[in-house]
Amino acid sequence: MKPIRLALLTAAGLVLRGVARAQTPEATAPAKAAGMSEQEVLFWLLMGLLGLLLGALLLVGITIVVQMKPQLRQLYDLPTVHNTWSGKVLGLLVGDATLVRGEYKDEMLDHDYDGIHEFDNDLPPWWKYGFGFTIVFAFVYVGYYHLTTKGQLQVAEYETEMRQAALLVSAGSDDPTKLTTYLALTTAADLGEGKSIYTTNCAPCHGANAEGKVGPNLTDEYWLHGGEVNHVYKTIKYGIPSKGMVAWKGKLSGKQILQVTSYALSLQGSNPANAKPPQGEKEVPGGKPVAGL
C-alpha cells in the first residue's frame, strides 16, 4: 500500500503545482491574448454537442437496422410491399438497390449489329430523376430570368456590380474610374528622368528600347489599354494585375509616372530591332487633353 499512497501523493502534488502556475499572471497573459470570446466558445461547444448528438443518432439508427434486418427482409418480401415505392425505399435498408439502380430484364432484342446484342433494359431511375430535375429547373430558370425579368442576366448583373463598385471608390483625384487630363511632357529634363525611371523599372518587361519582351511593344501604334497619354498614365499607375502589369501607385509619384509615360510615348515609331508583333487595337486619335501636371 505504501508505494500506491506515494504515487497518489506525487500525482496530487503535480496537479496542484500546475493549477498554481496556471493562476500566475505570466501563464494567464498569453492565454487571454490567444483565447476566444465567450460567444465563440459557446458556439463551438454547441456545435460539438450537436455533432455528438447526430453521430449518436446515426449510430443508433445503424444498430437498429442491423439488428432488425431479418424482420425488415421479411416485410420487404411481402407481395403487397415489395413492388411499392415505399417498399423499394425499404429495400435500400436490406441491400436491394432497385430504387436507384432499376431492374434488369435481361431480355435480348431481336436485332443484331456487328455481333453486338442489345438488351431491353430501362434507364436507371437515378438518371430519370436527374433528367426530370433538369426539365423543371429549365422552366423555373426561363420563367424567373426571361419571362418575369426578376432575375438579372449576366450583362445586367455586371452593370449592377460595376455601379456598386463605383460607390466604394472615392470621387477624388485618386479615383481609378476617372481619367486624368494631363498633357505629355516634352522637355529634355522630364524625358531624361522618364528614361531613367523606364530603364530601372520597365525595361525588364518591355525591353531596353520598348521593343517588348514579356510586356507588349510600346513603339507601334497598337495598344491593349489605350495609347493616349492619360490612358497610359492610368495603366502605369493602377496596373493590370490580370496580365502581370504591376501598379506603380505608391512607388512612383504622379510626376514620375507622367515622366515615364511621356518618355514611352516619345518612342513611338522608333522601330527598334527585334520588335514584338503588335498587340491590341490601333490607336485612333481622339480629343486632346486640356490640362497639364
**For 92-114, what is each residue's pLDDT tens digit?**
777 777 767 766 666 676 777 77
For 239, the grid coordinates are 496596373
This prediction has a pTM of 0.43
Over residues 267-286, the pLDDT tens digits come to: 999 999 999 999 888 875 54
Give Cα separations from 32 to 36, 46, 229 (angstroms).
Answer: 8, 22, 55
β-pair partners for 281: 223
Strands 222-223 and 116-119, by their bridges, are unpaired
Per residue in 147-181, pLDDT (tens digit) is: 887 888 888 888 888 877 766 655 555 677 778 88
Beta strands in the chain (DSSP E): 108-113, 116-119, 222-223, 281-282
Q: How far apart are CA 265 and CA 183, in angstroms?
A: 11
pLDDT attached to residue 284 = 59
